[in-house]
Structure formats: structure tokens, C-alpha cells
Chains A and B, each alone.
Chain A
Amino acid sequence: MTKFTKLMGATAAALTMGAAAFAEGHGCTAEGRLSIIGNEFPAIQSVAALAQTCEGLDAEANLTADHQTLNLPGMQGDPAEYTTAIVANSSIVALINEDVVRSLDDLVAEYGADIPTHMQISVDGNVMAIAFMANAQTLVYREDVLEQVGLEIPTSYEEMLTAAAAIREAGIMDSPLGGAYASGWNLAQEFNNMYIGHGGEFFEPGTANVSINNEAGVATLEMMKALSEYMNPDFLTHDSNATSAEWEAGNVALMNMWGSRTGVLMDDEGSAEEVYSNTKVAGPLMVGDSGVPATTLWWDGWTVAKNISDEDAAATFQAMAYGVSPALLNDETMGQAVWLIDGFEPQPINEGVLAAVSAGSKPYPMVPFQGLLHSALGAELADFMQGNESAEQALADVEAAYTAAAVEAGFVTQ
């Protein structure tokens, strides 16, 4: 019998789902060990819960916000503690770099006939992960406020600035723009979005040498600075949690927000009727004239550990494949994410992410040293945003901080 690890909140749903699946005769059997490490949010909880219902498994799951610190050491041992890690396109590279996840080619051939190609993540022709959901940051806007100032829905950051000025002018809101500009990961992510939107390239092709101190980089920072003028003065401490809280309090009319977070903004909990009923989602914003949206696409998917027996790997693969099969989708889970699974019916809250995909947005780069640049950006850009130094100086600092880290990590030779 499967062992249920406590999966907060999702347990009850999983029980019913499991039962329903068995009743329909779509249950799964897999002999061996399944041990999941992953982040903690409802969509992943649902996948993990369903995977654990497979018969014959010795299953457990450790879903925690610290998964990124734990997955690597937990997969480096032999045998590995975790047989599968649920990762995103940013975090899979750390596992591939350290060679702790296996190529799934054989397993896909044997057990994965039903897994569509678009869910398979391949590196150099080897399938390394199976993606099951997508995410992106797109525009969220207040319909009533835009109507009041008589403006269309912005499609670019330039139009967003115009709208912000008009809203402030009309005296509707002091800080009409929101944004997760908290120094650190969030701020760096906003830089990435905007830099990609300006058509910038992060590295010299084929190398790990950074090159962001250029026209696109400066234009990116200047746009971010211009936007921040219309934000709450505390913007450097506002992560996506705080930004959403500002939204629900009705203080913000336009913001760039994660698709996975729009559901709670549009429900009737936490905000006044005027706010939630007028909260609408649109596609990603453009910036400049590059034609690439200023956002990044993200996927979450699962991998299989290298340092485990082939039997355990097969069992893990089968269970996880079942966890992300169409059997997962029901009324409860349908709205939890933009699933990549066949049979997914988009909900109104998913429009933003789907629009981002169809607008030709770029995925967050799956490059081994992107994480180092992300950290360097997060640490060094705050000085510029506070007006303490020039854009060129800030970008030079980022490059220097990145280079020091990349030399230590062996990506760059001095």
C-alpha cells in the first residue's frame, strides 16, 4: 500500500482523485521506490499526491521552499535519497551540471509512449526532464481605472508609463504601478524580463563571458527606473507577495505579475468587490522595438536521479508519468496551473500565460551560469534603483560580481 506523506491541503483532493482514477481503471502500478523533492505549491502538491497513489510503491515526498538547497546534496549520495526532483528551467541546470539526473531516453521509449513531445525537455538530444506546467509574468490591470482615464489596455511599457502618468494626474492613485522589485531575486528577474524585451543577449555566444553593459542594458535600467517613479516608495522591499497585497488593497492599477498568482487576485477573498471584479489579465508587455515580449516563460517539470537502481528509476518514472497524465485533471486541479498536459482547458485566469506563449516570448535561459548572473544582478542593481550610481556603473558592478563568481565556479578563466 502506498504511504501518504502529509501534503498539506492537497491530501483530501488527492484521495478523491486517486479513488476516482482507480474507479475508472486508469490506476497505475510500479514496483520500487519513489521519493520526491520539490517546491511547495498546490500544483506540485497535486502531482506528487497523484504519483504516490501508484500501487506497489514505497513512496514519500518532501515539498518545501528550501528544495533548491536540498535537492543537490540529496541526489549526490549513492543511492540518492530523492529519486526525483521537481525543478524549473532555472534550477534544472544545477542538477545537470553536477551530473545527478539521468537521461530519460530509455524510460520514455519503454514507459512514456503517452508523453507528448512538447512535455519533453531535451538537452543535446537527450530527454532530461518532463515538464508539466508553464508560468510567465504578464500584465494585470484594473479595468475600471483604465476606463476612468479613458485609455486602452497597455501593450508596451511605454504605454504603461503614459497610463500611469494619466492615473496619477487624475488623482485616482498616487502609485498606480506595481512590480516585484524587491532587491534580490525579484529585482533581477525584472531586469531579465526587460533586458530580453530590449533584445539583449546576456553572454558572448558560446562562452560564459557576460556582456550586459551595453545599450540594451542601460535602456533596461532606465525603463525600470522610470517605472519605479510611479511605484510605492518602498518598492525595493516589495516581493511578489507584498506587490499582490498592494494590489488587493486597491492601491495599484497596473502591474507585471506571475500567471500563477492571478487566480487569488481575481477571487473574492482579500480585496474589495471593486478591486477583484475589475482585475483583468492581459498578455506580456513589449518594450522598445525588438519585437520580443519583455517576459520569460517558465516550466516546472520532473527529473529522475542518476544514483539509483534501474528498477527504482523505472518505478519513479512510471509513477511520475502517471502523476502528470490526463488523470490529474479534474475540476479541483484544472485551475491550479497552466498545465501542459493533454486535455487541459484554459481558465480565464490563464489567459496571460497563454498569451505570453503565443506572443513568442523567450523561455528563461537554461544556461548553467545564468543563476550566477541572476544573483549578481539581484545584489548590485539596488544601488542604481536608489539613485546612488549611474546605470553604466551598476552594470559594470554586476559584470564584476558575476565574473568573480563565475571564475570561482569554473565557468570563466581569468
Chain B
Amino acid sequence: MNHRTFLTFVAPSLLAMLLLIVFPVVSVVLQSFHAQHEQVMEVVETCGPFGCTETTSVNQEQTLALREAQPLGRFVGFENYTNRGHLAFSEMGEAWRTSTGWGDWWSKVMNLPFYSAIVFTLTFTFIVTPLTIVLGFSIAIAVNAASRAIRGPLIFVSLLPFIITPLVGSLVLFWMVDARGVLGHAIQALAGNPELSVKASTPMMWIMLMVYGIWHAAPFAFVVFYAGLQSVSQDADEAAMIDGANRWQRVRFVTIPHIMPLVTFVALIQLMDNFRVFEPLISFSAEAHAQSLSTYIFSDLGGETRLLNSAATTSLLTVVCVGILLFPVLVRTWRDFKRA
């Protein structure tokens, strides 16, 4: 396809992405290298319905002059990346020097907000992604083996967890796993401990979040795999059967290779989505137990004073992490592309 035709076809799509994704990303990059101006402080008297007090306030005129000179703020280079809120170079260095052992070092690292967020995010991503794929594949096999008459309703029910709004789906589950809710009671009965509360313990909360993650995403994997199963070549399967392959061997050597490209696709999308995990943590009020990179950005943007530069820095670090995570897949795609 020549360049001109190519451009005509892709122009509208590229334009939309350029305007609404590329430009904001450029501004995010700029912001991450800047910090706000130093504010000129003064002590003034503030009065209100509850009387007067002396408070510290910002001197508008002087601060305004600084701002007009440099609208982006002051350039700080990589300072935003290395400060305590992010990669925390000096704190990490100190933790390394002063730690008495690995356990002590680890607890010092986990005390830093960015690292504790990234540890949860990575754990979530690497546990939820494979389990989603396994569960989705098992459902696909099981539905495919069911009699034709009930397959329609089965597909419909299986898709339910995927189509519900994450915000609401996780909220409903949160209500149910409360120590006095129906699932909470069931868990207590199973564990034989009437005091057990999912929301009170960090490990239980992590497990809950991951179970929710798998429950929510499994239907996506299921649909993709189920579709793939429809096109498994009957000939290959029968040939394997004639060769004396048992049921498991046929799944292993015929079905799985056939749907391998689908596994890559699902893995790619799931890795990215899981890395950005956000809604369940908010709906589960999980802040005390788990913080992800996205909720970390959210708390920077949601406070009374918004920390735009910090949020920009965390966002870019997220993109870099995703890039590293997806690198093997990208290399594979490049090979496929060159072969095509």
C-alpha cells in the first residue's frame, strides 16, 4: 500500500489520537520535569463565623510575578522522579545502608508509597493474568463440551461478570463480603472462625481484590477462547485420535497450539488492564491495605491541593513499567510483522 493511500485511511484515527492522547502525553512529560514556584508566604489575620485567627497565607502579588515569568513552574529535572514520593533514591540508599537484615530492608522499602504501590500492582498483575487465562480457558472447554441446547444461556451467564460496570460490580461484592454480609458469613463458616473479617486483614484484602479481578476478567478470556475453539480443525483432532492420542493429549497438542495466538492477545490486554487496576481498590475502600499505581495517581489528583507534577511523574513511570512488561510481546509482534 503506498504512503498516500495509507495516510488517507489512517488520518482520522491518527488525528483523534494525536489531539487527545499525544498532546496530553507531551504536556504530562513536561509537567513531570517541573515543580510549582516557590510561594511567597506571609502571616495574615483571617476572620469568619468562628472568630479571627492569625494564619499563614500566600502573598498573591509576588507569587503571581514569579508565575508569569515561568508559567510551567520551575524546572527541576529528574527531582520529581527521585523524590520520596516516587523512586526515593536517597531513602532507598539509606534503607540499604542502615538495614539490619533483608526483612528490615523490605519493610523499609514497603514503607515508601511508590514501592508499596508497585509491589501490589505487580503482584496483582502476575497472579490475576495467568489465573484469568486458565479459568477462561477451562470455562471455554466446559461450555464447548456442554450440549448445544444449553450453550446459549451458558454463554450469557458467563458474560455477566464482564459486562457489569467495574465500579458497581466491585461495590456489590464489597457489600457482600462484609463480616455481616452473606459471603462474609459463608467465609466465616468455611474457616470456622466467626470473628474473621475480610476487610480487616491485609492478606485477605489482597486475595479478595485478586479474586474480584479474576472473576471480572475471566469472561473476556472465555469469549475469546470459546470463539477460538470453534475453529479448531476437526481433521487434526481426528488424526490425533486415530494416532491413539488420549483426550488430554489432544487438548495439549491440538487445541492449545491452535489458540496460542489468542492467549497472547488476551495476555497482552490483561497485563495492561491489570497493571492499571483502579476501580476495585476504590470500591473496596482498600486504601489501608493496598495501593496501586492508579490509586496513587488518583490520590495526588484528588486532594484539596492537587499535585499535578507528582501525578504526571507517576503516570510516566507507569507507562515505562508497562513498556518493560510488554517488551517480550512486542518483540514477538515485530517478528510476526516482518514475516507477514
Which residues of A pack against B, CB within 8 Å? 68-69, 72, 89-91, 93-94, 96-97, 99, 118-125, 131, 134, 182-184, 187, 203, 205-208, 232-239, 242, 297, 299, 340, 357, 361-363, 365-372, 374-375, 378-379, 382-383, 385-386, 389, 393, 397, 400-401, 403-405, 407-411, 413
Give the size category of B's interface with A: 35 or more
- Note all chain A residues with C-beta closer than 8 A to B111: 383, 389, 393, 397
Q: Are B299 and A410 in contact (CB under 8 A)?
A: no
How long is the Cα–Cα vector from A385 to B202 in the complex, in angstroms? 12
How long is the Cα–Cα vector from A370 to B56 in the complex, in angstroms? 10
- Note all chain A residues with C-beta closer than 8 A to B63: 99
Q: Are B48 and A121 in contact (CB under 8 A)?
A: yes
Subset of 27 A-B contacts with CB under 8 Å: A68-B302, A69-B302, A72-B306, A94-B305, A94-B306, A96-B57, A97-B39, A97-B58, A122-B48, A125-B45, A182-B285, A184-B285, A203-B56, A206-B41, A206-B56, A207-B41, A236-B200, A238-B285, A363-B53, A370-B304, A372-B307, A375-B300, A393-B111, A407-B83, A408-B83, A409-B39, A410-B35
Q: How many A-B residue pairs have CB under 8 A?
A: 188
Which residues of B pack against A, CB within 8 Å? 35-39, 41, 43-51, 53, 55-58, 60, 63-64, 73-74, 80, 83-85, 91, 111, 113, 178-179, 195, 197, 199-200, 202, 284-289, 291, 299-307, 309-310
Q: A125-B45, A408-B35, A408-B85 are in contact. List 17 more A-B contacts (CB 8 A).
A: A68-B304, A124-B46, A184-B287, A187-B288, A233-B199, A233-B200, A234-B197, A379-B113, A379-B287, A386-B202, A389-B111, A393-B111, A401-B85, A401-B113, A405-B307, A408-B307, A410-B74
Once A236-B200, A385-B288, A407-B35 are accepted as A-B contacts, the answer to whether A401 and B84 lie under 8 Å apart by CB is: yes
Within the complex, which residue of B47, B91, B303, B310 is in contact with A374, where a contact is CB–CB below 8 Å?
A: B303
Q: Are B284 and A237 in contact (CB under 8 A)?
A: yes
Once A94-B304, A233-B179, A374-B304 are accepted as A-B contacts, the answer to whether A122 and B56 lie under 8 Å apart by CB is: no
Q: Are B305 and A97 in contact (CB under 8 A)?
A: yes
Q: Are B48 and A131 in contact (CB under 8 A)?
A: yes
Within the complex, which residue of A94, A366, A413 is in contact with B55, where a contact is CB–CB below 8 Å?
A: A366
Within the complex, which residue of B35, B199, B284, B305 is in contact with A372, where a contact is CB–CB below 8 Å?
A: B305
How long is the Cα–Cα vector from A207 to B301 in the complex, in angstroms? 24
Q: Are B56 and A367 in contact (CB under 8 A)?
A: yes
Once A368-B39, A404-B83 are accepted as A-B contacts, the answer to whether A234 and B200 lie under 8 Å apart by CB is: yes
Q: Are A207 and B304 in contact (CB under 8 A)?
A: no
Once A182-B285, A207-B56, A382-B287 are accepted as A-B contacts, the answer to whether A408 and B48 lie under 8 Å apart by CB is: no
Q: Are A91 and B41 in contact (CB under 8 A)?
A: no
- Note all chain B residues with C-beta closer than 8 A to A120: 47-48
- Note all chain A residues with C-beta closer than 8 A to B200: 233-236
- Note all chain B residues with C-beta closer than 8 A to A405: 85, 307, 310
Q: Are A121 and B37 in contact (CB under 8 A)?
A: no
Q: Are B50 and A357 in contact (CB under 8 A)?
A: yes
- Note all chain B residues with C-beta closer than 8 A to A340: 49
- Shortest C-beta distance, B177 to chain A (Å), equals 10
- Shortest C-beta distance, A105 to chain B (Å), equals 13
Within the complex, which residue of B41, B51, B199 is in contact with A234, where a contact is CB–CB below 8 Å?
A: B199
- Shortest C-beta distance, B78 to chain A (Å), equals 13
Once A386-B202, A409-B305 are accepted as A-B contacts, the answer to whether A89 and B195 lie under 8 Å apart by CB is: no
Q: Are B48 and A69 in contact (CB under 8 A)?
A: no
